[in-house]
Amino acid sequence: MENSFGKLFTITSFGESHSRCVGIIVDGCPAGLPITEEDIQREVNKRKPGIGMIATARVEEDKVEILSGIFNGHTTGAPVCLLIWNKDVDSSEYERIRFLPRPGHADYTAFMKYGGFNDFRGGGRFSGRITATFVMAGAIAKKLLNLISVEVLAHTIEIGGIKAKPRGVDEIKENVDKNPLRCADPKAAEEMSRAIEKVKEEGDSLGGIIEGIALNVPVGLGEPVFDTLEGDLAKALFAIPAIKGVEFGSGFSAAGKRGSENNDPFTIKNGKIVTVTNNAGGILGGISNGMPIVVRVAIKPTSSIAKSQETVNLKNMESASLEVKGRHDVCIVPRAVAVVESMMEVTLCDFAMRAGLIPEVIK
């Protein structure tokens, strides 16, 4: 079940970068949810590379197809199978570097773990392309969360050391789709673009930070001690290739604060208990406290770079140097925004179902 996630709302991912398709099974989705291929397509499109400056090598239409579980425009209660056919598949470059593991990439560990039988073409199972399947599942989770008014959004807050200015939720919603960087601070977005342009020319790559926010999350999601909201969100997010850090609320900066600074005082607003600040990122004791859930993920710079790197030839165990050809994403951060959103949605949907907030049949 290593390719499954979620206890009641369970997703099972399959497919490799150059296999016939990539797809996902969504098991446990209540019956009666109205959903169309277009609903899912819309979300998958958010993962597309931005027009213009941020190019990926592979331009596929990524057309979503529903194979099962949806009938007459509604979920049936049976597992939903969604897939995207792989079409644009030139494997020649991968044959060339098959035994030259790219530094920072899963080439080496996959080769070792699967005894060289892994489908190495395009990174195989370790390709960012797999995350398109996460977004398909997220599209269904999003619909279910809408029923209980939960809304998830994600945005780029840092690329290549350039930080976006903090913005309010409304501004984030308004701005995030306005630039291909998916950054709510237009000025920072421009700088990020320039940084990416520059690094691209140098044959190098950049990382960054994405922030995910979940609004209107009811109090009580999370099942401690092990199935905490932080724990399962983190697990879901670490499934996204290149994520190397996850923090909630004040996160790592909490380490340097005092309790009197970091504790969020309780108060009453509109007859409801809220906290004055949100250093907890909406989670106390692994359970949502009704405040926005705030998570930030660190994304390392893309490992595939044009610059020459030192590696080892797995065939003859000799040192070798490697230049990865083809056009890889210089920075995957903007494209990963939709994926972060989706994995948050999948996780929150599962917890909402565990808390009994979503019925077995949607009417």
Smallest distance, a copy of itself to C-beta of residue 308, A: 9
Nearer to a copy of itself, 7 or 173 (CB): 7
State the minimum distance, in angstroms, from the CB of residue 178 to a copy of itself.
Answer: 23
Token code pair at residue 27: 């098991």
- Spatial separation of the C-alpha atoms in residues 139 and 42, rounded to whole Å: 8
Contacts of 308 (CB under 8 A, 6+ apart): 321, 322, 323
Looking at beta carbons only, is 79 or 173 nearer to a copy of itself?
Answer: 79
Q: How far is the CB of 191 from a copy of itself (least distance, A)?
A: 14
Looking at the Cβ atoms of 51 and 363, the one nearer to a copy of itself is 363
Smallest CA-to-CA distance from 5 within 33, 39, 34, 28 is with 28
Nearer to a copy of itself, 149 or 267 (CB): 267
For a copy of itself, which is the closer residue by CB, 55 or 362? 362
- Residue 130 tokens read as 């797999």
- Both structure tokens of 277: 């600040």
Residues in a beta bridge with 151: 215
Residues with Cβ within 8 Å of 40's Cβ and at least 6 positions away in sequence, in order, are: 64, 66, 82, 136, 139, 140
Please state the closest distance from residue 211 (CB atom) to a copy of itself, in A. Answer: 12
Task: Give min distance, CB of 170 to a copy of itself, in A.
Answer: 26
Q: How far is the CB of 221 from a copy of itself (least distance, A)?
A: 9
**Closest separation between CB of residue 55 and a copy of itself, Å?**
16
Query: Mind giving me the DSSP string for 126-166?
Result: GSGGGHHHHHHHHHHHHHHHHHTT-EEEEEEEEETTEEPPP
Inter-CA distances, 52 with 60, 164, 180, 325, 326, Å? 16, 21, 9, 20, 17
Question: Cβ 179 to a copy of itself, closest distance in Å?
Answer: 19
State how far Cα 86 lies from the chain centre: 20
Nearer to a copy of itself, 14 or 173 (CB): 14
| 274: preceding bond cis by omega (within 30 degrees) | no
Whichever of 28 and 292 has its CB closer to a copy of itself, that residue is 28
Q: CB 51 → a copy of itself: shortest distance, Å?
A: 23
Classify strands 266-269 and 318-322 as parallel, antiparallel or unpaired.
unpaired
Integer CA distances (angstroms), 123 to 81, 107, 207, 241, 258, in order: 23, 7, 19, 11, 45
d(CA 238, CA 339): 11
| Cα 334 to Cα 101: distance, rounded to the nearest angstrom | 26
Residue number, 51 or 272, with CB nearest to a copy of itself: 272
Whichever of 179 and 311 has its CB closer to a copy of itself, that residue is 311
